[in-house]
Amino acid sequence: MKAITKRFQYFFLSTKGLALVAIALVSVVTAIWGTLSGPLAEMGINDITVRVLGMDLVPAEREGRLIMLYHSIAMTVVAILVYYITDVVQMKKHERATINATVTVGYMFALIFGMLFAYFGHNWIYHGLFIAGQTLMYFGGVLLAAALWPWKKEYYIQDPKSEYAHTKGGMDLERAAFFAMAITTLGSALLGAIAGASFGNGFVTFLAEDTVRDPNKAVLARGVIGHLHIMVALTGVAITLIVGKWYDFKGIMHKIAMPSMIFGSIILALGCALMIPAQYYAHLIIYVGSTFVLVAGLLLVIYGWGRLIRDRIAEQGIEKASFGQKFKALFHDPVKWGATWQMVYMNFCVTFVGLFMAAKLDDLIRRLPLREERITLTGHWHVLAAIIATIMLLYFVDLMGLKGKARKWFGWLVIISSDLAFGAATVFALKRLFVSESDQQPLVDTLDLLTEIGLGLLLIVIGVYMGYRLIDLFKKNGRWAKDLSEADL
Amino acid sequence: MKRTFFFLLFVTLLTAGCASSTVEATPPPQIDTGVDPDSWALIPAGEFLADFTNEEILVDYDYQMMVTDVTNAQYADFLNVALKDGTISIVGDEIMGYYPGDIFREYRHEEEYAAGDYPLMPLDEKGLRLDFDSTTFTAKPGYENHPMVMVTWFGANTYCEYYDGRLPSAIEWEKAARGTDGRPFPWGNEAQQTNANYYHSNDPFEDVIGRMGDTTPVGFYNGQTHLGFETEDSPSPYGLYDMAGNVYQWVGDVIPYQHYRLLLGGAKDVYAVRIRAWVINNAEPVYFSPNAGFRCAQD
């Protein structure tokens, strides 16, 4: 009994344990639900999954199921981000404990009961608990925002010459950036909640990508579109700020990046909300907000890569490093470098593609059938969400203390496999711009293969690591016991 | 070991990338499904459950729709006759025909289609299942009873009007596809590989072409076994075949303010979830594709 209690304490009273449980749960959901579509479905595995688990998949309810699946996974991802934030941003111990407890119950309710309702018959008690879980997540967000309140004097930077961004009065602008992200996330969640309640009430579910060519979208349909865009973007902002903490981001670039991130988050959120009353201007405002956020991300990357090189060279005791030594030093730790490299790679697969699509909307994209435009849209946001997930994973294994060769293997395999998959998926999404339907077969076969190899390898790497952590839990004095002894919750 | 692995990976990718499509090279096997492409089905007036919300919609008149998609052989016959009587003409690499135009409202993203000649189909595109010897059109061997593809909305509309018919409206099409009981697929509630030609549905034509597949002859899913592939009889409640999968079907509706045309029914290269009766695709009326065909309706 004591052994079980100890392990429960580890799972729920330490940042590492909380993150481990959440990532394990989302991995299980991904592994099972991944069989329902894509290559595994083509192999007929989906039939086995449906039969064995007793799923009830009504064809007319597919869109509704997907929306619940997205939200169930999103709640878990947000919970993980909250754990990371409460771990790296200064706050009181009771605040950290309350926030983590609230979001833990919240995401678990949302994930478990959301999936039960969507895929295993419609028991309305489950639906109620799914909503209750999301409500708790929201409440956890309110508590987080309160804890992050940047005007608390005790968190002011006292040293006027500090290398960290701050106002003249001493307000910590990094803390303010976390606060701005939290507040805009709460506002944007509300936008989704209002639209969701309206559509859910009439059982009219739709995927935003299916409405892209509807010339007269309903007001709340535009609300849904604004909501989903800003939520993914703010998740990106959150992980960028967390990685900034990890890199100990400071100096002049920090002083430019933090205000930029604050303005960017607020402008982005306003732009997405403007989707409802003024769709045309919303796009322009979103571009402005995105630019601020991207500049902040770019500055982090520039600082981070310099920092990685400097730290490694100092570690090696080299006084005057050659270009080759610096180059090697940059890639010494693939886990840490990978987190910022994925941000750079994201631009090739997401930002530049998005800008190109927007610039060529009338000339190219709207000349294609809806199906092709839909593929580019879904590819676009799936790749963005997945890249954010890989950054979170790299941060996670660092948090868990992965070291040595295992760290290098994990880092490189995550980078190579995910970039292979995301690169191939991006080309696939844009294929119609350079190959006709009649000629696409060899290209599609190759891209399918590359995507499947990349994703397969990525899932294996995650699976191996999670397996290692699972085995560790059976050891009396495994790593978990050490982590628990260091936990401060 | 590492080298061998990477070498094998490289060779696999290279061969996959270099594999040529056999769409044009290999004539498909001839299959007579026994379903007559010249036959029509009556859809009686009455309410039906539309869209995934099962909204009750009344179609207050009887109408008829072709039991199958228009085939390559049928379209070749039309081209030969219409070319002779001057209804259509050949301009460069395209067949052109007259269209009286859409109402234009100068809306954002709206494309103007004024009265004039528009392309019905290309003459020299991969994926076309017709041959043209500068005087006569014929269906490529083996493709005679496959659905006509690479035809624009103008090409579909002109064909139907030439024979005193019209393209069905989206509502007429949906009712003909799913009947009155709200089913998502013409044959019922679930899609199996034995019901329709969709992405990776393992029909015999996928073995030849690859996962994207090729068209199947109209009426292929009629309960018979073709080339060792067992099918289920999968007509719609009104007896129409191929109302899900195989090729998208142009319908007559003009989307106001944009002028896209709807393509319904899904096709051979989309997943089964995308062949549900209410799932829509749309495109400009000049779009043509190896995945897009049509069938006609008449009052």
Contact B109 A215 (CB under 8 A): yes
- B212:A42 CB<8 A: no
Q: What is the pLDDT of residues B231-248, one digit of tens each?
A: 999 999 999 999 999 999
Is residue A42 within 8 angstroms of chain B, CB to CB? yes
Residue B48 pairs with which residues in a beta bridge? Answer: B57
Type of residue found at B269:
D
ipTM of the complex: 0.88
Report CB contact under 8 Å: A445, B23: no
Q: B261 pairs with which residues across the strands?
A: B254, B283
Query: What is the rounded distance in angstroms from the CA atom of residue A407 to the CA atom of residue A419?
Result: 18
Instruction: Confirm or reject contact between B126 and chain A (CB < 8 A).
Output: yes
pLDDT tens-digit map of B39-67? 999 999 999 999 988 899 999 999 999 99
Q: What is the pLDDT of residue A356?
A: 86
Among candidate residues A488, A410, A421, the one with its CA nearest the CA of residue A456: A421
Which pair of structure tokens corresponds to residue A274? 């403007």
Query: pLDDT tier at A128 (50, 70, 90 boundaries)?
Result: very high
**Does residue B283 sit at the A interface (CB-CB below 8 Å)?**
yes
**What is the secondary structure of A99-150 as a DSSP string?**
HHHHHHHHHHHHHHHHHHHHHS---HHHHHHHHHHHHHHHHHHHHHHHHH-T
Alpha-helical regions (H) of A318-368: 323-330, 334-346, 352-359
Kindly report each contact of residues B198-201 with a partner whose C-beta sits within 8 Å and lies 24 or more positions away, as own/partner: B198/B244, B198/B245, B198/B266, B198/B267, B198/B268, B198/B269, B198/B270, B198/B271, B198/B272, B198/B274, B198/B275, B199/A42, B199/B268, B199/B269, B199/B270, B199/B271, B199/B272, B200/A42, B200/B271, B201/B245, B201/B268, B201/B272
Residue B275 to residue B277: CA distance in whole angstroms: 6
- A439:B126 CB<8 A: yes
Cα angle for residues A94, A98, A104 (degrees, 5° grid): 145
Residue B21 reports pLDDT greater than 50: no
- The residue in chain A having the minimum alpha-carbon distance to the alpha carbon of residue B212 is A441
Contact B53 A366 (CB under 8 A): no
- The CA distance from A276 to the nearest CA of chain B, in Å, is 17
Could you tell me which residue, A178 or A44, shows the higher pLDDT?
A178
Nearest CA in chain B to A445: B16
> What is the residue extent of each domain of chain A?
1-148, 173-332, 345-476
Which domains, and CATH codes, for chain B? 39-298 (3.90.1580.10)
C-beta separation of B229 from B52 below 8 A: no
A445 touches chain B (CB under 8 A): yes
Task: Count A/B contacts: CB-CB distance under 8 Å.
Answer: 100
Nearest-Cα distance to chain B for A402, in Å, is: 24
From CA A176, how far away is CA A259, in angstroms rounded?
9
Binding-face residues of B in 44-103 toward A, CB within 8 A: 52-54
Q: In angstroms, what separates the C-alpha of B131 from chain A's closest C-alpha?
A: 16
Q: In the prediction, which pLDDT does A201 show?
A: 67
CA distance A361 to chain B (A): 9
Is B212–A441 a contact, with Cβ atoms under 8 angstroms apart?
A: yes
- The shortest CB-CB distance from A438 to any of B18, B126, B256 is to B126
| pLDDT single digits (tens) A376-415 | 988 888 999 999 999 999 999 999 999 999 999 999 999 9
| C-alpha span between A244 and A299 (Å, rounded) | 10
* Short-list A467, A468, A463, A460, CA closest to A421: A460
Query: Residue B68 has what pLDDT?
Result: 98
Hunting for tokens 């490289």 — which residue is that? B10
| Residues near A452 by beta carbon (within 8 Å), at least 6 away in sequence | A38, A39
Nearest CA in chain A to B19: A442
Residue B197 has pLDDT above 60, yes or no: yes
Please tell me which of the candidates A60, A367, A437 has its beta carbon nearest to residue B289.
A437
